[in-house]
Amino acid sequence: PSWLLRERRLISSRRAATTETDTDLYDVLKLSKDASVAEVKKAYYREAKEAHPDKWQGDAVKQERFQAVAEAYQTLADPVRR
């Protein structure tokens, strides 16, 4: 049934969201785990510039990449969340 398929997709997406590790965030910004806050900021600007939606209008992959970069930066730039 279709409801079961939707349920499985929902469970799968929740698992994917909860298994994301800090190293994934560092990988998104192409940094090592011991990077300083200044290095995180520099990497964010570099990666955001490459995937900015204004530069790649209509490209869904670049838009998703930009969102991932922004999320990684928000987490890694905050010393408490880091």
pLDDT at site 56: 87
Closest CA to 77 of 33, 39, 28, 21: 39
**This prediction's pTM:** 0.69
- pLDDT for the residue numbered 54: 92
Q: Measured in Å, how far apart are the chain's first and last C-alpha atoms? A: 42
Question: How would you write the pLDDT of the chain (82 residues) with one tens digit per residue?
Answer: 677 667 666 656 555 554 455 668 999 999 998 999 999 999 999 999 999 999 989 888 999 999 999 999 999 998 888 7
